[in-house]
Amino acid sequence: MKKLTSILTFCCLAFGLSAAELPADLQWETNDADPIFASPEARRGGEFNMMMLSFPLTFRTVGPDSNTAFRSFILENQLGLYGLHPDTENPIPALATHWAFGDDDRTMYFRLNPEARWSDGVPVTADDFLFALEFMRSEVIRAPWYNNYYTEEIVDITKYDDHTISVTAGSPKSRRELLNTVGLTPQPRHFYELSGDWVRRYNWEVVPVTGAYVISDVRRGRSITFKRLDDWWGNDLRYYRHRFNVDEIRLSVVRDLNIAYRHFLRGDVDTFGLILPEWWHDKTDTPEYRNGLINRIWFYNDIQQGPQGLHLNTAHPRLRDVRVREGIAHAINMQRMLDTILRGDYERMHTFGTGYGDFIDADIRAREFDIERARALFAEAGYDRQGPGGILMNAANDRLSLAVTYTTQEHTARLAILREEARKAGLDLQLNLVDGATGFKAMLEKKHEAAWLGWGGGGLYPQYWEFFHSVNADKPQTNNLFNISDEQLDALIEEYRITMDLDAKAAISRRIQQRVHELAIFIPGYQVPYTREAYWRYVKLPEAKGTSQSPSLFWPMEGAPHSTGGLFWIDQELKAEIKAGGKRYEPVLEVVETWRRKEP
pLDDT tens-place string over residues 210-245: 999 999 999 999 999 999 999 999 999 999 999 999
CATH number at residue 102: 3.90.76.10
Domain assignment present for 181 = yes
Domain assignment present for 452 = yes
Whole-structure pTM value: 0.80
pLDDT at 8: 33
**Which range marks the domain in which residue 116 is found?**
78-202
Domain assignment present for 246 = no
- Model confidence band, residue 17 (pLDDT cutoffs 50, 70, 90): very low
Proportion of the chain above pLDDT 90, given as a percent: 85
Whether the Cβ atoms of residue 471 and residue 486 lie closer than 8 Å to each other: no
Mean pLDDT of 175-202: 94
- Model confidence band, residue 597 (pLDDT cutoffs 50, 70, 90): confident
Between the alpha carbon of residue 541 and those of residues 102, 143, 252, 536, 571, the distances in Å are: 40, 38, 23, 11, 10
Distance CA 148, CA 527 (A): 30
3-state secondary structure 317-376: HHHHCHHHHHHHHHHCCHHHHHHCCCCCCCEECCCCCECCHHHCCCCCCCCCCCHHHHHH
Domain assignment present for 8 = no
Domain assignment present for 26 = no
pLDDT at 465: 93
pLDDT at 500: 81
Domain assignment present for 399 = yes
Domain assignment present for 158 = yes
Cβ of 231: how many Cβ atoms within 10 Å? 7
Give yes or no for residue 2 having a pLDDT over 50.
no
Tell me the pLDDT tens digit for each residue of 316-368.
Answer: 999 999 999 999 999 999 999 999 999 999 999 999 999 888 999 999 999 99
Give yes or no for residue 200 having a pLDDT over 60.
yes
Residues comprising the chain, all counted: 600
How many domains, in total, are found in the chain?
2
- Say whether both 451 and 328 belong to one domain: yes
- Say whether both 322 and 464 belong to one domain: yes
Give yes or no for residue 448 having a pLDDT over 70.
yes
pLDDT at 110: 98
- Model confidence band, residue 19 (pLDDT cutoffs 50, 70, 90): low
Strand partners, 226: 215, 249
Whether the Cβ atoms of residue 595 and residue 548 lie closer than 8 Å to each other: yes
Helix 502-519 and helix 487-498: axis angle, to 10°? 160
Domain assignment present for 502 = yes
Tell me the pLDDT tens digit for each residue of 259-277.
Answer: 999 999 999 999 999 998 9
- Among residues 183, 202, 221, which one ends one of the domains? 202
- Say whether both 501 and 373 belong to one domain: yes
Residue type, 292: G
- Among residues 527, 555, 589, which one ends one of the domains? 527
End-to-end CA distance of the chain: 70
Whether the Cβ atoms of residue 83 and residue 562 lie closer than 8 Å to each other: yes
Better pLDDT: 251 or 410: 251
- Say whether both 468 and 336 belong to one domain: yes
- Among residues 506, 527, 548, which one ends one of the domains? 527
- Please work out, in degrees rounded to the nearest 5, the angle formed at the alpha carbon of residue 227 by the alpha carbons of 225 and 232: 155
Tell me the pLDDT tens digit for each residue of 43-70.
Answer: 999 999 999 999 999 999 999 999 888 9
- Model confidence band, residue 297 (pLDDT cutoffs 50, 70, 90): very high
